[in-house]
Structure 1
């Protein structure tokens, strides 16, 4: 567990973790040794001079006090180290997730990452703060007591020692038996979380269809499977818990029987037998808790393994000697890109001179948005090259690449904050005048005047308090403020009403002025003024040219254009 924890977090945390484990182990040993003082205490109490027990009682009290101090120090160290590990884990996981390719965030990842970043991280990091001390105590204290028994009476100590491998074997067997059940339950848990998120996101569709009173079958099925998996997990743990209980009870019975036999034979006194039974009873409690603690540790280990898998996912490689492009022309050179088994882009070659506009047209699923994503290096191509200013995007470091590109997508996400904070994401160091100018150019000032609070108006999580057109204006203002030389537009007006579309179109025209632009649009009128147009289908360029030229050819583009004119 500890090696995996350090591998996931980094070995810079090794020293405080090992110090904490050593402190907890020392406390457990002192606790076990303190019970050795019960031997002279009980001998004196059952002897002819009970008052002789006072010095041993004082020594026992002092030992317990030392144990209490060590246990407090160990627990406090565990909490502090656990808090440090939790903070470090969140920072490392967040930084790593931000570096992973966008293609990694496929279907099902939202539920998986939300569980992992929430309860998963907390459970994994709780090992040091909450589980390590009781686990070490449950293992080390009984073992120390057994050694005390051996020193006191080798026959009784040897009988107790026989239980050690039996308890260890039961723990190992239980862990292996529950591995499959634990994995299944975790998988069902992640699936159920994803279904809950899906159910919440599907509320507009369900309500529009008049199905608010119906149960969501996919969610119900997922929760039902989670319940079954949880039941199987409990049933898998039952034999181990029962076996551990029987082993501990059998050990206690054996010690009682052997102690009585030795006492009747005159080999040991009643005080010694009573002491052995007290020590054995003190062994029983922590050993019985191993079943519960072991289950929690297995859960934490599973979360650590999943964190390790995510952190071992390779981000897109950064160039060792990055090159900064001096021009802003774009080029696709025999580009091929696969998504799973599907070829999304198939041997595409095209160029966009600096300061010109390229429009990409085609049916849904043709690969239009993927072209924009390859330009922004959301993915790496499987063959060929994507270049900016003659430089392969793989040779440009991410910060420089993103500084050269402004992206406006159809689905705009705004962070829970004010309008000004969301606009400033484009360039955080911009002056107030620059922010206001970008808002005016994007026609966002009309929205700000209508909202209570103006610039300080909160947009809600995801921009939920704004309409789609208003969110799009914020996105355009952000892109204008960024003032990047390359602009990528993906269906920015396809879902807007006429008023918002006109306002957004005006902002887009200002954003595109003097920049290299690649736009994807289904509304054909939005691309008439493009310098170059390519028609994409099934990942291949079918036609290319300007608007008038493509209309005269009466090909696929002309057919799309004619359909768009049909009322």
Structure 2
């Protein structure tokens, strides 16, 4: 576990961690030696001159003072190292997450990282602050006491030493049996949390359907899975906990019987027997605590393993000698991309001259948005190449590439803050006049005028306090302010009302003017603004040309156009 912790944290923390571990081990050993001083004290007290115990009592008091100081220093060191590591780990995890490809962030992973960055990090790095000291004490102190017993009487010491392999085997077997159940419990907890959120989000649908009094089957099932997994987890812990307790009690009974036998035979004094029983009793407490500490350490180990998995995820490689493209034309050259076992794009070849627009159309799941993601290098292609200005995007520094691309997604995410702060993300050093001009071009000024607070209006988490059309206007203003030579549009008007759609279209037209544009079109009428159109189906281009050319040819594109533009029966307006 320590190796995993060091690998997760980085080698810069190795020295302070080893120093803290050494201090904790020394403290635990001193605690064991402290109990060894009970031997001469009890011998003197049970001897002919009890007053001889005073020097040993003074030595015992001094040892207690030394132990108290060492314990304070080791606990303080553990707390300081733990908090320092926590702060460093947040920075390291944040820096690494910022370097991972955008395509890595699936919904599942976003949820996992959210939990990991809060509860997971605290649990993992709480090991140094709260768990290592008692764990080391539970191991080292009994071993030190066993060594004292061996010196005091080899027979009693040997009898107590038998407990060591039994305790080790019990703990190892318990850890192995619990590993699978712990992983299942984590998955079930994650699923149950997702179902609870789903249940809350589904309230409008459930109430509209008159199902508010019915049980939500998916949530019930996931909670039952959690219950069953918790039961298995408890049952898996029982053999280890009971076995450990029985082992400790059995060894104590053996020592008691053996000590009595030796005392009655005159081979050992009553003081030594009493001392050994006191020492054995002192061994029992930390050994019995191993079960509880072990469970907490396993939980921390699981979090560490998940952190380690994320930190071992390789970011997309950066070029050793990056090339800056001089032009802004786009080319997809025999591009193939697979996501898992599914081929999303296969042998796709497209070219967009600088300053022109291409619309990519096709049925849902055809791979349209994937082309935008490959161009922005959210993923790397499996075969072929994506080029900007004749330069493979893999040979362009990521910051340089992203500085030349403005992206407007269909689903807009706004950060919790003011409208102005969200617009300025496009170019933080822009002047107030430039920010206002971008807002006017995107027709965001109309929204700002009617909002209480104006530019200082809070958009809420994710932009929840704004409508979909208002969020899109913020996104377009942000892209206009960035003033990048290339624009990627993932159909931004498909879910807007007519008023907002008209306003957004006007802002999009201003955004596209004079720029190289690749747009994904779900509404076929938007393709009229494109210089060329590519029809994508099942990851392959099956038709390409201008809109009028493709219509005149008939075939798949004409059929797709007719289906997409035919009014649905019962439509009005």
5 Å-filtered alignment, 1:133-152, equals: 133-152=133-152
Retained in 2: the 8 A contact 1:178–1:236?
Answer: yes
Q: 1:299 aligns to what?
A: 299
5 Å-filtered alignment, 1:91-170, equals: 91-106=91-106, 108-170=108-170
The alignment partner of 2:37 has SS state of: helix
> RMSD over aligned Cα, in angstroms?
1.7
What's the offset of the Cα at 1:323? 0.8
Structure 1 Cα separation of the partners of residues 224 and 114 of structure 2: 21
Q: 1:517 aligns to what?
A: 517
Structure 2 Cα separation of the partners of residues 260 and 338 of structure 1: 75
Retained in 2: the 8 A contact 1:115–1:190?
Answer: no
5 Å-filtered alignment, 1:28-427, equals: 28-106=28-106, 108-427=108-427
What's the offset of the Cα at 1:44? 2.2
Structure 2 Cα separation of the partners of residues 169 and 365 of structure 1: 53
Instruction: Pick which of 86-95 and 2-11 moved more.
Output: 86-95
Q: 1:463 aligns to what?
A: 463
Retained in 2: the 8 A contact 1:358–1:533?
Answer: yes
Gaps of 5+ in 1: none
- Cα gap change, 1:19 to 1:278, in 2 (>3 Å): same
Structure 1 Cα separation of the partners of residues 532 and 504 of structure 2: 22
- Cα gap change, 1:528 to 1:222, in 2 (>3 Å): same
Write out per-residue CA displacement over residues 140-196 of structure 1, whole angstroms, 9 at most, x where no aligned residue.
Answer: 001111111122222222221121122112111211222222222222223323333
Write out per-residue CA displacement over residues 344-376 of structure 1, whole angstroms, 9 at most, x where no aligned residue.
Answer: 212111111101111111111121111111111
Structure 1 Cα separation of the partners of residues 344 and 174 of structure 2: 47
Structure 2 Cα separation of the partners of residues 171 and 564 of structure 1: 65
What's the offset of the Cα at 1:204? 4.3
Q: 1:531 aligns to what?
A: 531
Q: 2:542 aligns to what?
A: 542
Retained in 2: the 8 A contact 1:28–1:140?
Answer: yes
Write out per-residue CA displacement over residues 196-254 of structure 1, whole angstroms, 9 at most, x where no aligned residue.
Answer: 34334444444444434333322221221122111111111111111111111111111
- Cα gap change, 1:205 to 1:408, in 2 (>3 Å): farther
- Cα gap change, 1:216 to 1:317, in 2 (>3 Å): farther
Retained in 2: the 8 A contact 1:108–1:194?
Answer: no
Retained in 2: the 8 A contact 1:336–1:381?
Answer: yes
Q: How many residues align?
A: 567
What's the offset of the Cα at 1:22? 0.7
Retained in 2: the 8 A contact 1:185–1:230?
Answer: yes
Structure 1 Cα separation of the partners of residues 292 and 34 of structure 2: 26
What's the offset of the Cα at 1:107? 5.2
What's the offset of the Cα at 1:446? 1.3
Structure 1 Cα separation of the partners of residues 490 and 455 of structure 2: 27
The alignment partner of 2:529 has SS state of: coil
What's the offset of the Cα at 1:554? 2.8
What's the offset of the Cα at 1:341? 2.6
Structure 2 Cα separation of the partners of residues 249 and 71 of structure 1: 28
- Cα gap change, 1:349 to 1:56, in 2 (>3 Å): same
Structure 1 Cα separation of the partners of residues 168 and 561 of structure 2: 75
What's the offset of the Cα at 1:269? 2.0
TM-score normalised by L of structure 1: 0.96
The alignment partner of 2:415 has SS state of: coil
The alignment partner of 2:534 has SS state of: strand
Retained in 2: the 8 A contact 1:111–1:191?
Answer: no
Structure 2 Cα separation of the partners of residues 482 and 209 of structure 1: 45
The alignment partner of 2:459 has SS state of: coil
Instruction: Pick which of 87-96 and 7-16 moved more.
Output: 87-96
What's the offset of the Cα at 1:86? 1.6
- Cα gap change, 1:204 to 1:421, in 2 (>3 Å): farther
What's the offset of the Cα at 1:41? 1.7
Structure 1 Cα separation of the partners of residues 226 and 34 of structure 2: 46
TM-score normalised by L of structure 2: 0.95
The alignment partner of 1:358 has SS state of: strand
What's the offset of the Cα at 1:461? 0.8
What's the offset of the Cα at 1:326? 0.8
Structure 1 Cα separation of the partners of residues 59 and 436 of structure 2: 76
Instruction: Pick which of 316-325 and 200-209 moved more.
Output: 200-209
Structure 2 Cα separation of the partners of residues 212 and 448 of structure 1: 38
Structure 2 Cα separation of the partners of residues 210 and 427 of structure 1: 48
Instruction: Pick which of 94-103 and 513-522 moved more.
Output: 94-103
- Cα gap change, 1:15 to 1:264, in 2 (>3 Å): same
Instruction: Pick which of 82-91 and 245-254 moved more.
Output: 82-91
What's the offset of the Cα at 1:308? 1.3
Structure 1 Cα separation of the partners of residues 397 and 562 of structure 2: 43
Write out per-residue CA displacement over residues 495-524 of structure 1, whole angstroms, 9 at most, x where no aligned residue.
Answer: 111111111111111111111111112222
- Cα gap change, 1:86 to 1:454, in 2 (>3 Å): same
Structure 2 Cα separation of the partners of residues 492 and 134 of structure 1: 57
- Cα gap change, 1:234 to 1:129, in 2 (>3 Å): same
Structure 2 Cα separation of the partners of residues 95 and 278 of structure 1: 53
The alignment partner of 1:331 has SS state of: strand
Q: 1:431 aligns to what?
A: 431
Structure 1 Cα separation of the partners of residues 310 and 115 of structure 2: 13
